[in-house]
Chain A
């Protein structure tokens, strides 16, 4: 009884870290720009394919390509932002959300179909020489690759936190989240802050995609479900706290696998949505968010 349950909770925790990482990117972009980029999952998918092809064609280790994948997505982020999002900066918050939803859905369809065309619908994954390695603790298996992914997700998160707290640019970003008009009056060029947060979000999606491709599997249609997980986690964790968002990811991962264990796997996907509704009804500021002041 203990081992299978613990095992499934551990797997939940490990996948939850990736939910968290995906959601942090989404939440960063939304928090600063109020752009709800529903193509975030597709960016993650592109990150996954980038490391998959680097590994398959060149044999480069996915953990080594991770920074490159992030840079690659950063560049894609710049292009997408300039092309599709930049002109929406001046809109009201509500109009921004609506417009970006539309643009994001369109973009996600395009990216999915381009991926389908270029790389077929096959499910892919990276199998390295150490992919099957795991260590066992109290009878519970910890696959090395997924544990490393958890570590990397944590490092990315701490780096982000440090950036936001310690650097002038990071503070400018937080100021823009609180009040963009007051931020402008500080002499902060909020257009640049918007661009920066958007591309940082894209880079985080790239990192998450890379980790998904090595610990799990990727396919052209994966984006939508990752965006959905990201949205659920974002609401679960609450806006404004990236650590909270990350923990929210782990909560979702663990809840999903507990559901899979006690009920059946079919209910796994449903539980996230149930959680989503419960949080919205009983704690709309999220598990770790603060109420509007």
Chain B
């Protein structure tokens, strides 16, 4: 009996605890040769709401070219249900000197919490007409697919990084193209390029 009362009180406390959401999305981030450059970032207020970041075009010579960059994050917090969903999209994308191109790059990251359970996912993320090292990729790219980029380094495509403890917090970061630049002789990391990034999380 006592156990049942304690369980009920615990669930009740969980239901009325303050929840928080985070959301972030951006089109491109480049860190190469000591120079950092980033397209407009959408950052969700901690209380929820909506934020956007847009640019008609964005380019860093030799690293990335893209147009129609759109980053959107939305979310809401209340005692019974909270959620955050972030999207990042770019068109006419060329990365790493043309080693990777795509008509459209779409990142979607979602995190949610109902009264007693939560979750996160990267459903909806994808590429349209992706070409890697001159080869067209005609199927869906599985999460965390690594491809070598000769003379450049390597890339992780559809990189999905879960966050949170799965009990009181849930989150997901999706980076659709994550290029790791490496020194050709020593293999040391010299920089990185991230294209199409979306992150969302909830905590109770």
Partners in one complex: no
B residues bordering A, Cβ < 8 Å?
Answer: none
A residues bordering B, Cβ < 8 Å?
Answer: none
